[in-house]
């Protein structure tokens, strides 16, 4: 049974959580394959809000196996807290429903300290990271000095590796970043507590996942962030430290690429981004404020206000091309109600050249001008719509135009946070 990958097609916060939650109803296993607790899903089920930073959105369906794959970076403090919060609400009743890769790298306190200190030093040129230590943890992984989840269970080896790392990081923190050093014994003691709390969940998730696929189980591979935050293909250096394209799912989850059959791209009906970096269709006026207010565009992880702007077909087109997106899930269409006219960016102009896809280099982003097309808006509420035909004619026209501009049909249109506020156009998986 092949796997489906779900990715964000913009700068993250497209509403992947709601879509994964919907698709998880028909899945057996849901796997996060990259990123860490820089991600945040806000899910509303039966009027109750749940924010998830690490555990896949499938966890709200009892019995689903949720996995954190080798490509994820895990802050044990956050994971333990999330498990406890879920249990307190009656979710995750059985240990075997959560599987944590022994190959995933740990985010430790020095990663957070370095992330935040660097951002402070960068001042106005900061990336605007989530401050969760994501970049420094991936740096250690690539430098081959990182400590993995499985290392927690080799107490002697763990102590040695941690001691070496804390020594090196403290030299960095004090010498280069002007920060106070961290106490090794304190980090060690906390890690020991997490070891026991995490023990029941830690396993070779790749092997379990491959066995699940071989056994005909239905698998969802849940991406975090979005295409334009991809470390190679996004707006570098204003990106996250992992690959967010569908191609990353195979390596990050530990399955062969051929196991992936379908890619669902999540796109918001307008565009948002948190943190610094290029954003051609950004609205810095009252309309941007209105989108932020109506769309509740504040980071689920950090609470930061998101920058808001028009739908950018160039960006989503790039995600479609790079990840071979088969179907779109279009979210938050309801937020556009009452805005008239609406604009869509169809291409960029770069020194007289028309670009249908984004430029590769950093500097070009500063010099391009978005090319817009205007569409009439609608005033009617979308609340009761359950089919495309229920939509006001102009909302329908907007959806049709987005689909044709990015070249992929929408299989689902979301018109509110609740599970039932969804128009299902065709089967998604
Ligand atoms: P980092 O991933 O914390 O290093 O942050 C790098 C950039 O990615 C910053 O601009 C963050 O705001 C952005 N970012 C990271 N995770 C998310 C996410 O889940 N949604 C939206 N933006 C994110």
Per-residue pLDDT at 324: 97
Residues of the chain with pLDDT below 70 are 428-429
Report pLDDT for 43: 79
Cβ–ligand 1 distance for 70 under 6 Å, the answer no
CA 311–ligand 1 middle distance (angstroms) = 19
Task: State whether the beta carbon of 240 lies less than 6 angstroms from ligand 1.
Answer: yes
Q: How far apart are CA 198 and CA 385, in angstroms?
A: 44
Rounded Cα distance, 91 and 99, in Å: 15
pLDDT at 428: 65
| C-alpha 243 – ligand 1 centre gap (Å) | 12
Specify the pLDDT at position 363.
87
Helix 109-122 / helix 134-143 crossing angle, nearest 10 deg: 110
Active site residues: 13, 41
**Cβ atoms within 10 Å, residue 182:** 17
Per DSSP, 377 falls in state -
pLDDT at 429: 54
**What's the CA dihedral at 359, 365, 368, 374 to 10 degrees?**
90
Model confidence over 88-111: pLDDT tens digits?
Answer: 999 999 999 999 999 999 999 999
* Contact 271 CB / ligand 1 (< 6 Å): no
**391 touches 399 (CB < 8 A):** yes
How remote is the CA of residue 249 from the centroid of ligand 1, in Å? 18
Whether the CB of 235 sits within 6 Å of ligand 1: no
Chain CA centroid to CA 399, Å: 23
CA distance 44 to 58: 13
d(CA 110, CA 164): 12
What is the CA(130)–ligand 1 centre distance, in A?
Answer: 6
Q: 149-165, pLDDT tens digit by residue?
A: 999 999 999 999 999 99
DSSP per residue over 179-221, as a string? -PPPPHHHHHHHHHHHHHHHGGGEE-HHHHHHHHHHTT--EEE
Q: Which atom of ligand 1 is nearest to the CA of 115?
A: 4
pLDDT digits (tens, 9 = 90+) for 46-65: 778 888 899 998 999 999 99
108 ligand 1 Cβ < 6 A: no
**Residue with the nearest Cα to atom 8 of ligand 1?**
240
Does 13 sit in the ligand 1 pocket, CB within 6 Å?
Answer: yes
Ligand 1 mutation target, pool 129, 295, 300, 306, most atoms within 8 A of CB: 129
Q: Is 113 exposed, middle or buried (0-12, 13-18, 19+ CB in 10 A)?
A: buried
């Amino acid at each position: 049974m092949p796997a489906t990958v779900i990715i964000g097609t913009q700068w993250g916060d497209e509403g992947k959580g709601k879509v994964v939650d919907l698709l998880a109803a028909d899945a057996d296993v849901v796997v996060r394959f990259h990123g860490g607790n820089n991600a945040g899903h806000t899910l509303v089920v039966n009027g109750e809000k749940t924010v998830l930073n690490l555990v896949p959105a499938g966890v709200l369906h009892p019995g689903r196996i949720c996995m954190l794959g080798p490509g994820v970076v895990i802050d044990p403090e956050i994971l333990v807290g999330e498990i406890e919060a879920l249990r307190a609400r009656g979710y995750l009743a059985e240990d075997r429903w959560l599987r944590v890769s022994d190959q995933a790298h740990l985010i430790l306190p020095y990663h957070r300290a370095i992330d935040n200190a660097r951002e402070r030093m960068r001042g106005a040129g900061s990336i605007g990271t989530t401050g969760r230590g994501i970049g420094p943890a991936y740096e250690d992984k690539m430098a081959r000095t990182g400590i993995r989840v499985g290392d927690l269970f080799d107490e002697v080896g763990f102590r040695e590796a941690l001691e070496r790392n804390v020594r090196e990081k403290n030299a960095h923190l004090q010498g280069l970043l002007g920060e106070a050093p961290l106490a090794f014994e304190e980090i060690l003691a906390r890690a020991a507590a997490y070891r026991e709390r995490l023990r029941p969940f830690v396993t070779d998730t790749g092997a379990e996942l491959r066995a699940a696929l071989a056994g005909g189980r239905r698998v969802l591979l849940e991406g975090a962030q979005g295409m334009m935050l991809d470390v190679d293909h996004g707006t570098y250096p204003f990106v996250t430290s992992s690959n967010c394209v569908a191609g990353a799912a195979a390596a990050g989850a530990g399955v062969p690429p051929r196991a992936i059959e379908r890619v669902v791209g999540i796109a918001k009906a307008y565009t948002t981004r948190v943190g610094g970096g290029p954003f051609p269709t950004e609205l810095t006026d009252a309309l941007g404020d209105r989108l932020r207010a109506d769309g509740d565009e504040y980071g689920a992880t950090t609470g930061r206000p998101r920058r808001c702007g028009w739908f950018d077909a160039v960006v989503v087109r790039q995600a479609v091309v790079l990840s071979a997106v088969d179907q779109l899930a279009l979210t938050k269409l309801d937020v556009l109600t009452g805005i008239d006219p609406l604009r869509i960016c169809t291409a960029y102009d770069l020194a007289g050249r028309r670009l249908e896809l984004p430029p590769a280099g950093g500097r070009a982003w500063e010099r391009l001008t978005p090319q817009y097309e205007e569409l009439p808006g609608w005033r009617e509420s979308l609340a009761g719509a359950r089919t495309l035909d229920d939509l006001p004619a102009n909302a329908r026209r907007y959806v049709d135009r987005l689909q044709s501009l990015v070249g992929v049909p929408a299989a689902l249109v979301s018109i509110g946070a609740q599970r039932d506020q969804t128009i299902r156009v065709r089967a998604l998986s």
